[in-house]
Amino acid sequence: MLRIVGEEKNDVYEYRRRPVSLIGHLVDESHLSAAKEAIKDTLKVARVDKEIPINVRRVDDPYWMDEYKMPGRNQIDAYKFMLDISSDDEYKFVLTKNDINSSMGNYNFLVGLAIPGYNAIASTKRFEGVNDPQMRWECVKTEVMHEIGHVFGAPSYSRKDIEENLGRHCKNKCVMRQGIRVPMDWIAMTKDRLETGKAFCDSCENDLREFFGTN
């Protein structure tokens, strides 16, 4: 992680304390509440939950993302979509029912994607096969914590307990580790989170606090 020194430090940390805009697109209200709780809990771990508001709104227009559909696929190009909605005034997190992918890589699909320091998107599409509604809700929460964790700088480059596996990920028992098998790996991460009562490992907690200057 970049170390900030000198007179710019306070300005950078102040800028990073901008609001989070949570946008629910065609998702169940319960899943939108899971996303809000995930972001709130992550901000609490980072010790900025009292400073950063979470503004929630819905977009129920089924055609909202249509211009970002990938040729020959019924999937949204998440990377291009996020670039276009980026803002310097707020973080944006979009939770959508649409299936997503990215033209920036050779993938079959994505569950989520983040642009560190700016915004993220997560799809509930791949959790539709989780039969238990409560576990499905918790998996959505785990995924949102994972993506917003990336937005807020976890895991950092300076660590040794990370791996490059479809992006930079934590190797500890943590929501920031990589999931490959859907939904099995997300269920496993969720069970770990619920059993331990701890979503982020100590190293990722430190990364979140380093991002906001609260460590």
Catalytic: which of 143, 147, 205, 210? 147
Give the Cα separation of 167 and 108 in Å (integer): 16
Question: Any residues with CB less than 8 A from the CB of 210 and at least 6 apart, and which?
Answer: 1, 153, 156
Question: Any residues with CB less than 8 A from the CB of 14 and at least 6 apart, and which?
Answer: none
What ranges in 97-201 are assigned the alpha helix state H? 133-151, 184-196
Check if 147 is active-site: yes
Please tell me whether residue 122 adopts helix, strand or coil conformation: strand
**Which residue is listed with tokens 């800028």?**
15
The residues annotated with a catalytic role in the active site are 147
